[in-house]
Structure 1
């Protein structure tokens, strides 16, 4: 397993991983929107991306750069929760992009933080402070403000955005747990994730009717109608492979919280790209909604940093761990008792 540290310090390495994730994710979303504006075939687009990702992983294996694991049934079975949440998450993310503007995408998926805190309590039994709950409320207000301020917003797009928020918050937690299944190998998990997700998405192209739509388009419009879509699919396939790797690297290198915050910052840049690249209208409600969502994220970050600082500064109580320690304490007590009698 190769090292991704590249001789950098821990801080510089973490910064590079986060930057890598943000750049690849931004390109991914922008080109995805371009492809879906051409042809609304979300599951086909995902299938193309996964095919290319698996192909690129195999290329790295054949060239000797990386070594991919053998697919083992027992390991694959243990990773079913990750594959399920990954396929569902990718699907609803793409469907959300079909129905909403790029600049509204951040608001539609704005409930990631509240759901992250909720699932941390339900699944990991991690209680939250009042400041954390206040940050969640602020984020919810941003989501509500952004959604209710839109006149012609797609309710289906918002629905997919909410489901996307749920899957995103669960995804980071599931990745952390799934790393143990593959001996904490990021690349092994990326390979398993792509291969198994590809197998899961393939029948969905037929079940959702997209295969029939492709046949109709080919028979009526000719192959040329797919040039733009396939070209965009090729680009997103390459960047999908990179963003997949970047997501796993970032979560394994940092934490689900950092992953969530990086996603929020990416959303702001994404909103500006939607304005510049797709000539989308950014309303006052959208700006206020995004501001509140980011403010809630910033408050959450400050609250968690404050909690960690307080935890680090608190001196842990000494607990004897060996019999020698216990015997030593008993001897000290006997000496103190003798001194008092004297």
Structure 2
């Protein structure tokens, strides 16, 4: 087995560590977010704190010499307006969804990410999908429909925010691809611009939604003690939000897309169990079936795309082996030119 350069770990041990790191950070992020919002339902303030911490941590890595952050330029910022808009909107509806639904239902409410991703890839990028990919999307939709219709006391507003979150998440990947050119195809520069500009964009929303007035009222009447739990939760989620981005990048770079999807599926199961034990969520048969279908559809999609990539990689590339082959190609070219 080839040795990895990660602290002398083997390649397999490094993959296990990366996958474990991703799952732990993602689970902590969702759980602490829910804990913070249960304490004080101030979603935009929580987002603002998380973005502020992410920017501070990026600056710390710059001052420590680990990474180099770019200077914010006005022309680049203008080019990234669509990315910032979809990012802020996506984070907002994502957090609002978590306000109105419990942790175990959160995955169902946001379960339409895959179908919307395939749809927008076709509608905006002209990328067709195979029958197997469409079957995986249909399976995911059945899981979403089963989970939603089997619930009696579920928040309809939470479902609306969940569907909106699925749409923005699907569009986000497409917008990122189009935005990389504005930052010379540097992922690090895009992350820095995204966090700084999103922080600026969220700041007026904290005021316009009345959350800043609520924070001032809490501090003036109850003092820091009442706000302490929320601030601690915001600090923890800010740090772990930064780590989730790092963990996702590490996992994708060190593993295959199939492993990444399997890790996400296992995380979804653990997240459901965590909601049951930590937040006393009610786990119904319809909810379990819905989550299973969503995870199965995601796994089927990953398998289908993996098959497509393998088949494409195995397609033979024609290389002229004889002078007659080369001459034949030249004759074909001459015929085309005369035509």
Q: Do these two structures clear the TM 0.5 threshold for a shared fold by scoring above it?
A: yes
Cα 1:30–1:198 shift into 2, 3 Å: same
The worse-fitting range, judged by mean Cα deviation, of 269-278 and 6-15 is 6-15
The answer to whether the Cα contact below 8 Å between 2:320 and 2:326 also exists between their aligned partners in 1 is no
The corresponding residue for 1:196 is: 197
Which has the larger displacement, 200-209 or 296-305?
296-305
Deviations 1:274-295 (A, max 9, x none): 1121121111111000011111
The change in CA–CA distance for 1:240 and 1:319 in structure 2 (over 3 A counts) is farther
Distance 1:332 1:172, change over 3 A: closer
Paired residues of 2:23 and 2:263 also in contact (CA < 8 A)? yes
- The one-character-per-residue Cα deviations of 1:181-216 (angstroms, maximum 9, x if unpaired) are 323333222211111110010000011111121122
Match of 1:339 in 2: none
Q: Name the CA distance, whole Å, in 2 between partners of 1:233 and 1:241.
A: 12
Q: Secondary structure at the match of 1:169?
A: helix
Three-state SS of the structure 2 residue aligned to 1:316 is coil
Query: Which stretch shifts more, 96-105 or 311-320?
Result: 311-320
Question: What's the offset of the Cα at 1:327?
Answer: 8.9
**CA deviation vs aligned residue, 1:49-88 (integer Å, no higher than 9, x gap):** 1111111111121222221111112222222222112111
Whole-angstrom distance in 1 between the partners of 2:328 and 2:291: 63
TM-score by length of 1: 0.85
- What residue in structure 1 maps to residue 56 of structure 2? 55
The equivalent residue for 2:29 is 28
Q: Matched residues in 2 for 1:62 and 1:300: separation?
A: 42
CA gap of 1:252–1:70, structure 2 versus 1, over 3 A, is: farther
Provide, for residues 311-330 of structure 1, a one-character-per-residue CA deviation record: whole Å limited to 9, x for no partner.
2233234589xxxx999722
Aligned counterparts of 1:84 and 1:11: Cα–Cα separation in 2: 39
Does 1:238 pair with 2:230? no
Report the equivalent of 1:337.
none
CA distance in 2, matches of 1:198, 1:238: 15
Q: Which residue of 1 aligns with 2:212?
A: 211
| Shift, 1:96, TM fit | 0.5
Q: Give the structure 2 partner of residue 307 of structure 1.
A: 308
Report the counterpart of residue 99 of structure 2 in structure 1.
98
- Kept after mapping to 1: 8 A contact 2:258/2:306: no
Q: From the superposition, tell whether residues 165 and 319 of structure 1 become closer, same or farther in structure 2 (CA, over 3 Å).
A: farther
Q: Which stretch shifts more, 170-179 or 192-201? A: 170-179
- The equivalent residue for 1:183 is 184
Q: CA RMSD in A?
A: 3.0
Q: Is the 8 A contact 2:258 2:303 kept in 1?
A: no
2:265 is aligned with 1:268 = no
The residue aligned with 1:330 is 327
- Per the TM alignment, residue 22 of structure 1 is displaced from its structure 2 partner at its CA by 2.9
> Distance between the aligned counterparts of 1:119 and 1:256, measured in 2?
20
Matching residue of 2:335 = none
Q: Deviations over 1:98-156 (max 9, x none)?
A: 00000000000000110111111112211111111111111101000000111100000
Sort the Cα spacing of 1:12 and 1:25 in 2 relative to 1 into closer, same or farther, 3 A.
same
Say if 1:54 and 1:195, in contact at 8 Å, map to a contact too: yes
Rounded Cα–Cα distance in structure 2 between residues aligned with 1:162 and 1:28: 20
The aligned counterpart of 1:65 is 66
TM-aligned CA deviation for residue 177 of structure 1: 3.4
- Stretches of structure 1 that go unaligned for 5 or more consecutive residues are 335-342
Structure 2 runs not aligned, ≥5 long: 332-339
Matches of 2:208 and 2:253, distance apart in 1? 34
* 1:11-39 deviation per Cα after TM superposition (whole angstroms, max 9, x unaligned): 87776555443322211111000000000
